[in-house]
């Protein structure tokens, strides 16, 4: 069963970076590695790529690694709750060498580290060159006659979750550039969007199709509905570090998204008591109508009086706030042609309040906004916005389009730990009809499991309910995370995938961490934070230039997560400082005090 389409997911936007940015480093990509298929090369556009220069060590590696293990253990094996961790080094031949493990088979909550699974699956399923395309196509029979389009126009999005109202101006501008000033027809949202599958994923799924769903793929709640990010108990709103929240709502139709499917409603009181309220909606959507029965109460008044005596005499200001009984609600369903915003009660005169609501019928709303933006850009539209389905397998003429590259979107998602984008990627996977499943969400879960099988990762201990990691039913292990990171490197995806991860001390949710250490501008990672959960996973290069992958999580702890995050940072910093020549004796192991930070005891 599909998840509830209208639950608002709290998501996060990146703050400006406070660290000083060094000179940009250009990447060099080994020509021997290809992504997905032969001769399809990629380029790393990250400002700080991984620099793996390790050629091997002729000394006593066992002694050095044992000393490193003792240092990591002294950092991690002191806390309450559950701590699970695993660290591996990559040899020059891409073989994986286990360095440290602490309860790596423990079933733990992934929090936002689940986005590692979602993003890598999406890259595999859609292909690294995939772009989300929002198009205006001529309907069958429509023609361009001089400056006019005679006939209907299809609006055909493909699920770009970053699409904004301002982006529709780009489509209108392309029509204006063609000399088009009028459309004599309707603007129709096409409900049959594209459902692509990369060549490699298509080949794999064709050979492994089955309708069987693992017990880990579906968890049924008490109400008989499959648990999901919107039905689970997600009592945390701070995933991840100091990110500002922006609301988003999932659409019934995953290919449709505009302004995160949120409409803002501003209600303002009149100038005096008894005046009617005014209601403004943005964006102005023709399918969202207002039923305004609000009124203004007496305006707030201010009074001053003198109190006290002598040198203690002072002026006190008091305010009467007026009557505030305003109630704003939304009604309508995902298939209803109209959504009604009802305003009742009173608001003090000359005051205003702003509310946000999920757009219910997103395809209808997008068609209405598209018509509005066309008209605002000087293109008259004689018809009406509506919803329909284009005939399958029809080749239509595209007259305007906007594209968003998948890799750019995954960078936005992972660096900012954007839950709305992660859920949108999960929903995009659910639209791929070539995957045999009994419900849309099962298609997404099946693709995630298929990707793990392609990577030879044992995913039997994993439970994927959503794409963001917000669900308290999600489960992973340290072993599965490290195995996935190892497969990403061994398949030649490392430069591309690390481009989507946060860089320590520079950007994303790691921008304030590991500053001034060997891990800054070096470690690439994905954070995860829920109430009582903090996790960190990713890659770092050692002092010898050897690539390491790490996963560290602390769960079921009391108090805030920052002391535990500092321990995670200390481990990554120890890896970044590690040199075989420095760890030949126990006396050479850097102490906790050598990091320049106070030990966070608990």
Q: What is the pLDDT of residues 293-351, one digit of tens each?
A: 999 998 877 777 788 888 888 887 776 777 899 999 999 988 899 999 999 999 999 99
Is 144 buried (19+), middle (13-18) or exposed (0-12) by CB count in 10 A?
middle
Tell me which long-range contacts 592-595 makes (C-beta under 8 A, separation of at least 24): 592/74, 592/75, 595/517, 595/570
Clarify whether residues 398 and 440 are in a common domain: no
Same domain, 399 and 386: yes
Q: Domain for residue 254, yes or no?
A: no
Tell me the average pLDDT across 468-475: 94
Q: How confident is the model at residue 592 (pLDDT cuts 50, 70, 90)?
A: low
Residue finishing a domain among 375, 405, 435? 405
- Do 107 and 166 belong together in one domain? no
* Same domain (yes/no): 457, 523: yes
Q: In CATH, what number is assigned to the domain containing residue 167? A: 3.50.80.20
Entry pTM: 0.82
Q: Please indicate, yes or no, if residue 236 is contained in any of the structural domains.
A: no
Q: How many domains does the chain have?
A: 3
Tell me, yes or no, whether 253 lies in a domain.
no
pLDDT class for 124, splitting at 50, 70, 90? very high
**Chain centre to alpha carbon of residue 245:** 12
Residue for token pair 């108090």: 559
Query: pLDDT higher for 239 or 583?
Result: 583
pLDDT at 356: 93
Whether residue 545 sits in one domain with residue 446: yes
582 lies in a domain? yes
Look at residue 569 and tell me if it is in a domain. Answer: yes
Long-range contacts of 200-208 (CB under 8 A, 24+ apart): 200/36, 200/37, 200/124, 200/127, 201/124, 201/125, 201/126, 201/127, 201/447, 201/450, 202/434, 204/450, 204/454, 205/434, 205/435, 205/447, 205/450, 206/434, 208/450, 208/453
Q: Is residue 66 one of the residues assigned to a domain?
A: yes
Q: Which of 234-248, 269-283, 326-340 has the lowest mean pLDDT?
A: 234-248
Tokens of 266: 């501003």
| Domain identity same for 456 and 558 | yes
Picking from 323, 357, 391, the residue at the C-terminal end of a domain is 357
Q: Could you give the CA distance from residue 177 to residue 10 in angstroms, rounded to a whole number?
A: 39
Residue 422 lies in a domain: yes
What is the reported pLDDT for 431? 85
Given a cut of 60, is residue 8 above it in pLDDT? no
Q: Do residues 374 and 290 both lie within one domain? A: no
Report the distance separating Cα 17 and Cα 490, nearest Å. 32
Same structural domain for residues 399 and 534?
no
**Model confidence at 227: pLDDT above 50:** no
| Same domain for 144 and 121 | no
* 559 and 444 in a common domain: yes
Closest-CA residue to 18 (of 569, 558, 510, 568) = 510
- Furthest CA-CA distance within the chain: 92
Check whether 28 has a pLDDT greater than 60. no
Which of residues 526 and 40 earns the better pLDDT score?
526
Across the range 139-146, mean pLDDT stands at 94
Tokens coding 267: 């209600």
Residues 6+ apart with CB under 8 A from 39: none
Give the domain extent around 506.
52-128+406-591
Q: For residues 193 and 43, what is the distance between their CA atoms, to the nearest angstrom?
A: 30
Does 75 share its domain with 136?
no
Domain harbouring 468, CATH code: 3.40.710.10
How far apart CA 448 and CA 370 sit, in angstroms, is: 34
Label residue 95 exposed, middle or buried (CB < 10 Å: 0-12, 13-18, 19+).
Answer: exposed
| Per-residue confidence (pLDDT) for residue 311, from 0 to 100 | 83
Domain final position from 405, 436, 469: 405
Report pLDDT digits (tens) over 402-419.
999 999 999 999 999 999
Q: What is the pLDDT of residue 252?
A: 85
Rounded-to-integer distance, Cα 49 and Cα 549, Å: 15
Task: Convert the pLDDT of each residue in 164-196 to its tens digit.
Answer: 999 999 999 999 999 999 999 999 999 886 666
Neighbours of 52 (CB within 10 A): 17
| Pair (423, 377) in one structural domain | no
Q: Let me know if residue 245 belongs to a domain.
A: no
């Amino acid at each position: 069963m599909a998840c509830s389409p209208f639950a608002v997911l709290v998501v996060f936007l990146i703050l400006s970076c406070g660290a000083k940015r060094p000179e940009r480093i250009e990447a060099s990509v080994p020509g021997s590695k290809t992504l997905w298929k032969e001769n399809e090369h990629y380029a790393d556009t990250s400002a700080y790529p991984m620099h793996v220069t390790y050629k091997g060590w002729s000394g006593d590696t066992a002694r050095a690694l044992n000393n490193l293990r003792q240092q990591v253990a002294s950092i991690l094996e002191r806390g309450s709750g559950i701590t699970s961790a695993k660290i591996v080094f990559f040899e020059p031949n891409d073989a994986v060498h286990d360095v440290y493990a602490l309860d790596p088979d423990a079933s733990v909550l992934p929090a936002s580290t689940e986005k590692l699974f979602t993003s890598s699956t999406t890259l595999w399923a859609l292909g690294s060159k995939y772009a989300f395309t929002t198009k205006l196509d001529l309907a069958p029979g429509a023609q361009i006659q001089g400056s006019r389009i005679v006939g209907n126009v299809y609006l055909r999005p493909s699920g770009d979750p970053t699409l904004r109202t301002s982006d529709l101006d780009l489509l209108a501008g392309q029509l204006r550039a063609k000399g088009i000033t009028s459309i004599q027809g309707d603007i129709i949202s096409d409900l049959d969007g594209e459902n692509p599958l990369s060549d490699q994923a298509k080949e794999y799924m064709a050979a492994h199709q089955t309708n069987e769903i693992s017990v880990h793929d579906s968890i049924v709640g008490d109400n008989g509905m499959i648990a999901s990010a919107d039905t689970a108990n997600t009592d945390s709103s701070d995933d991840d570090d100091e990110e500002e929240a922006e609301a988003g709502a999932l659409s019934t139709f995953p290919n449709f998204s505009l302004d995160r499917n949120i409409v803002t409603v501003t209600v303002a009181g009149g100038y005096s008591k008894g005046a009617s309220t005014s209601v403004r909606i943005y964006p102005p959507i023709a399918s969202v109508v207002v039923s305004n029965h609000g009124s203004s109460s007496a305006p707030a008044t201010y009074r001053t009086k003198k109190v006290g005596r002598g040198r203690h005499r002072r002026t006190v200001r008091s305010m009467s706030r007026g009557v505030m009984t305003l109630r704003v609600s939304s009604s309508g369903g995902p298939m209803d042609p109209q959504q009604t915003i009802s305003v009742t009660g009173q608001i003090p005169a000359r005051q205003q309040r702003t509310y946000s609501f999920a757009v219910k019928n997103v395809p209808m709303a997008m068609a209405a906004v598209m018509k509005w933006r066309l008209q605002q850009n000087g293109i008259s539209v004689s018809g009406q916005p509506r919803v329909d389905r284009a005939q399958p397998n029809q080749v239509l003429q595209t007259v305007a389009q906007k594209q968003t590259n998948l890799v750019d979107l995954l960078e936005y998602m992972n660096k900012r730990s954007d839950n709305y984008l992660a859920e949108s990627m999960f929903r995009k996977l659910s639209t791929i009809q070539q995957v045999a499943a009994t419900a849309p969400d099962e298609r997404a879960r099946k693709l995630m499991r298929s990707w793990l099988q392609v990577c030879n990762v044992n995913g039997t201990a994993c439970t994927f309910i959503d794409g963001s990691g917000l669900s308290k039913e999600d489960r992973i292990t340290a072993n599965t995370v490290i195995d996935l990171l190892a497969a990403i490197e061994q398949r030649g995806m490392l430069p591309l995938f690390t481009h989507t991860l946060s860089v320590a001390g520079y950007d994303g949710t790691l921008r304030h961490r590991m500053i001034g250490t060997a891990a800054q501008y070096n470690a690439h990672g994905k954070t995860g934070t829920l109430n009582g959960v903090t996790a960190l996973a990713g890659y770092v290069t050692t002092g010898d230039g050897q690539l390491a992958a790490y996963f560290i999580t602390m769960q079921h702890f009391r108090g805030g997560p920052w002391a535990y995050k500092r321990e995670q940072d200390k481990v990554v910093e120890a890896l970044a400082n590690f040199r075989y020549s420095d760890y030949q004796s126990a006396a050479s192991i850097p102490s906790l005090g050598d990091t320049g930070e106070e030990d966070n005891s608990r």
